[in-house]
Structure 1
Amino acid sequence: MKANNSNHGLPDDGLVPIRTVSSLTGVNSVTLRAWERRYELVKPIRTPKGHRLYTMAHVDLIHQVVALLDNGMSIGQVRQVLETDKTRPGPVPEPTTPFDLWLNYQDRLLRAVAAFDDGELGEVYHEVLSLYPVDIVTHRLIMPLLRELGERWMQGSGSIAEEHFFSVFLRNKLGARFHHLSRNRAGPKLLAAGLPGEQHEVGLLLFALAALDRDYQVVLLGPNTPLLELPPVVERVAIQAIVLSGSADIAAPVIEQELPSLCRMVAMPVFIGGRITDHCFDAITAAGAIPLGDDLNLALRGIDATLARR
């Protein structure tokens, strides 16, 4: 993309639109605009019509911001670090108050769940996702909160009703966000589904959202999908990889018998994510699939690398 520097002071080349930046960094456009508007972290170049354009220096800065956030900092702390350390590049500093931000968000969500307060849940949810990339929110907030709700139920301080209330809320919000973001994606197309016997879909939805942020196209089938149903989908759609998710209690025959059959039937990578990879890593590899673990960022990096080699 070219720009006329004689009239507008824009660089001659290397400018990319916000959608491309989102694909390169995994930070969605809403969050990038919030960082610009509320914190002045990343200031793009504006065309005469007001469109945002970014240089690769902007992209490098966004990667630095994401690294600091992933290290436990709040967005406010990141701004302070960048302002005081502009001329002294070096290793990413440790956060001064690790995890306080996320514990505060978790406490707010827990209180809203205990009160069955859908409005407060929505307010906190939209606030955090407007400021932080979805994979960081997932790692720092959503998954710890789901574990906390489960532990509260087991200890008698919570209830199944609370866990179901939050799960339904999250599933609805993530589903709506998925359908909103899935339009006009141009990257490789992934077929995503839950393994047979997997009844939960929150993890799968979180993966799909993180993939969309990186400009992947995602065909989402949902939980508990028979593996023999996948090859006909692959034949009709230009799928470039299959991504399956599962928890630790998936039945052994699924991994030892059904998964190898699927891998033989399709000519593309089959990835497995979720906690099942902790217990069945060797069996998944022996079946011909690629274990990803349950870290969304690392999983998507693994998919990126695999597809780049093909």
Structure 2
Amino acid sequence: MNDSVTKYKDAYPIRTVSALTGINPITLRTWERRYHLIEPVRTPKGHRLYTKEHISMLSRVVELLDRGIPISRITYAAIAEDNNSAVTHEQLFWQRMIDRMIKAIGKFDESVVESAYSEAMSLYPIETVTKKLLLPMLEKLGQRWESGDGTVAEEHFFGVYLRNKLGARFHHKKRLDNAPAFVTACIPGERHEIGLLLFALSAYDHGYRCILLGADIPLSELPRAVEQSAASGIVLSASIISDLETFEQELASLVQSTQVPVFVGGLGSLMYKNTIEKAGAKALGTDFDLSFRLIAESIAPAGQIEQNA
């Protein structure tokens, strides 16, 4: 062990810090270079080492990002303070937005839905709006449908709205012709495609293209779609898996029939994580940030994720 490492025996390499905080090494380097939030210790060979204080500060940064605060606005003062009143205010804001949009969807009032969505987008990045507004709304719509207070028509209405937003965002963003593409579809029997649309909406902002195939797609059709599109992976959406045994068999067959990684997201991927992984696929869950980290690690060139400095 060299003198620098001995001196900072409680310091950790970037790979360890990434595992502890969930922050990609590339992101850590960007924050250091662009925002100067964390200044890691350097070994004589130039490798980064992070102290326990650094790790604590990075965890605080993640908390602030989860609250919807852009990284560009996070300062040392913001990291140090614990502003509970701000959290309460923000929670009330998102609850108001959810209630407003649910009420508008119940009346099929697209103008109010658009007004609420635009207000949220003017204040927060798309990742935060998706996590704090759209995903909770998806859950609320499902609860309304199960209790009989909502209808399939409401869900379809919101689905069409999201499709329009997805198209608009795609046309206004820089073209991603050379970006990694994913064949995305709902599993057989799954007719709720809003979660898939939200994933696609977020995917564009993470630098990926999505080939949307929609609801209730036979898994046996997907290998050919991958071959024709030269896709980098397959992403399946599953909120409910009615026939688990058949799904496991078909998923295992799909994994064996393609050379690209297969991912399964949605509530079903949380409930049946072991089954999905047993079939050779990767369970993404419902957290988009974690999902894209897993996807990036799975399709990145060998060695790119695990650089030391």
| Equivalence for 1:71 | 66
Cα pair 1:242 1:271 within 8 Å, conserved: yes
| Equivalence for 2:116 | 124
Cα pair 1:197 1:251 within 8 Å, conserved: no
**Residue 230 (1) aligns with residue 260 (2):** no
**Residue 244 (1) aligns with residue 236 (2):** yes
Kindly state the Cα deviation for residue 189 of structure 1 after the two structures are TM-superposed: 2.1
Kindly state the Cα deviation for residue 143 of structure 1 after the two structures are TM-superposed: 2.1
Cα 1:286–1:133, aligned 2, differ >3 Å: closer, same or farther? same
Q: Residue type matched to 2:238 in 1?
A: G
**Residue 101 (1) aligns with residue 93 (2):** yes
Work out the CA distance in 1 between the residues paired with 2:244 and 2:148.
Answer: 31
Cα 1:129–1:277, aligned 2, differ >3 Å: closer, same or farther? same
**Residue 145 (1) aligns with residue 137 (2):** yes
| Equivalence for 2:247 | 255
**Residue 285 (1) aligns with residue 285 (2):** no
Cα 1:93–1:307, aligned 2, differ >3 Å: closer, same or farther? farther
Q: How many residues align?
A: 252
Cα 1:224–1:261, aligned 2, differ >3 Å: closer, same or farther? same
Kindly state the Cα deviation for residue 273 of structure 1 after the two structures are TM-superposed: 0.6
| Equivalence for 1:196 | 188
Work out the CA distance in 1 between the residues paired with 2:141 and 2:270.
Answer: 22
Kindly state the Cα deviation for residue 167 of structure 1 after the two structures are TM-superposed: 3.6
| Equivalence for 1:294 | 286
Cα 1:201–1:236, aligned 2, differ >3 Å: closer, same or farther? same
Secondary structure at the residue paired with 2:210? strand
Secondary structure at the residue paired with 1:222? coil
Cα 1:90–1:143, aligned 2, differ >3 Å: closer, same or farther? closer
Kindly state the Cα deviation for residue 130 of structure 1 after the two structures are TM-superposed: 3.8
Aligned equivalent of 2:34, options 51, 57, 71? 57
Gaps of 5+ in 1: 1-23, 26-53
Cα 1:252–1:219, aligned 2, differ >3 Å: closer, same or farther? same
Gaps of 5+ in 2: 1-25, 39-57, 303-309
Q: Residue type matched to 1:202 in 2?
A: I
Kindly state the Cα deviation for residue 160 of structure 1 after the two structures are TM-superposed: 5.0
| Equivalence for 1:112 | 104
Sequence identity percentage: 40
Cα pair 2:68 2:124 within 8 Å, conserved: no
Kindly state the Cα deviation for residue 175 of structure 1 after the two structures are TM-superposed: 4.3
Cα pair 2:61 2:79 within 8 Å, conserved: no
- Cα deviations across residues 237-287 of structure 1 (Å, max 9, x unaligned)? 322211111112342244221111111111121111111112211111111
Q: Residue type matched to 1:57 in 2?
A: R
Work out the CA distance in 2 between the residues paired with 1:241 and 1:91.
Answer: 41
Cα 1:197–1:161, aligned 2, differ >3 Å: closer, same or farther? closer
Cα pair 2:248 2:279 within 8 Å, conserved: yes
Cα pair 2:138 2:195 within 8 Å, conserved: no
Work out the CA distance in 1 between the residues paired with 2:159 and 2:276.
Answer: 28
Kindly state the Cα deviation for residue 220 of structure 1 after the two structures are TM-superposed: 2.0
Cα pair 1:198 1:250 within 8 Å, conserved: no
Cα 1:101–1:205, aligned 2, differ >3 Å: closer, same or farther? same
**Residue 275 (1) aligns with residue 270 (2):** no
TM-score by structure 1 length? 0.68
Work out the CA distance in 1 between the residues paired with 2:186 and 2:93.
Answer: 32
Work out the CA distance in 2 between the residues paired with 1:65 and 1:186.
Answer: 35
Cα 1:256–1:154, aligned 2, differ >3 Å: closer, same or farther? closer
